[in-house]
Amino acid sequence: MLDYFHNKRLVVTGGAGFLGRAVCRELEAYEPASIFVPRSRDYDLRDRSAIRRLLADAEPHVVIHLAAVVGGIGANMRHPGSFFYENAIMGIQLMEESRQFGVDKFVNTGTICAYPKHTPVPFREEALWDGYPEETNAPYGLAKKMLLVQAAAYREEYGFNAISLLPVNLYGPGDNFDPGSSHVIPALIKKVVEAKRSGQESIEAWGTGTASREFLFVRDAARAILLATAHYDEPAPINVGSGNEITIRELTQLICRLCDFRGRIEWDPSKPDGQPRRCLDTRKAWQAFGFRASTRLEEGLAETIAWYEGERSVARQPAFVPLHSLPQRRLAS
């Protein structure tokens, strides 16, 4: 089904990160000629000359651009300038240099944060331009949104085969659990697990709990990206998600139950809720490249909690998994 990748040379930016590791592991099964994972210490994607050097070293047929500067509401509020600049400059320059280098296909991963604050639920791709994003993450969302414009414009003017995907919030084993920059699921898991371990009688949660979110398990997201890379060749961005909505209050209660934490949840309404609701219309992903999420939220959360609590033998992986059949010089570490 994914013979497209056989003997191809790929660059996966962000391949040492949370989503990137899952994508690289998934790719291995399809025997590409090489997977090149640029590390920031060797190839700073904010530096145009470093991008040129990366492309010369890797000689890719396909670039899957996953590298991003990301975080939860707090991180977005603390660093709006750097979140805008670094995400925009990395993507814009990488796409331009890839076009000039003659890359066959460029896969741009956007973000659900690009949607307007009050988008009708479920979010349909046609609503992307109907308003301004939610304020706490607008700089990040707009930086990534400009890459959607760039991809469509390059296709129109240059015939450059760039596609754009809009993944919803991801979670899973190996996620970022740093309380200063993590998203809601790892932040809650860390808070609840640590509260149970230390015998706390309560935990504090941000906001009112009434905002809703949709979540996609990381292995499902990796599969979606590879299906789109192999089978989708159109300019319109495509939602990638599970299609299931849950309130933050319900999510917090579910994580408490899965962790067997029986203390109180104390909500802090002085903290922002973020966008009021998020849930995607995912029909186009099925129609365009045959993707549907297969991991139920409770099942994915249980695996993620087990990983965080120390049962990491299943989920622990190196920054990327070397391919046995590939020359090591093609693998950046």
Residue 68 phi/psi, 5-degree rounding, is -160, 155
**Residues of 181-191 as b/e, b for ≥16 C-beta within 10 angstroms?**
bbbbbbbbbbb
The CA–CA distances, whole Å, from 204 to 6, 20, 184, 192 equal 49, 31, 13, 10
- Write the burial class of residue 219 (CB in 10 Å: 0-12 exposed, 13-18 middle, 19+ buried): buried
Q: Is the peptide bond before 122 cis (omega within 30 degrees of 0)?
A: yes
Give the whole-angstrom CA distance, residue 176 versus residue 16. Answer: 12
- Name the residue type at position 250: E
> Which distant-in-sequence residues (6+ apart) come within 8 Å of 84 by Cβ?
139, 140, 142, 143
Q: Is residue 140 among the annotated active site residues?
A: yes
| Contact of 171 with 185, CB cutoff 8 Å | yes
**Active-site position among 43, 115, 140, 154:** 140
The number of residues in the chain equals 333
| Contact of 215 with 167, CB cutoff 8 Å | no
- Name the residue type at position 63: V
- The residues annotated with a catalytic role in the active site are 140
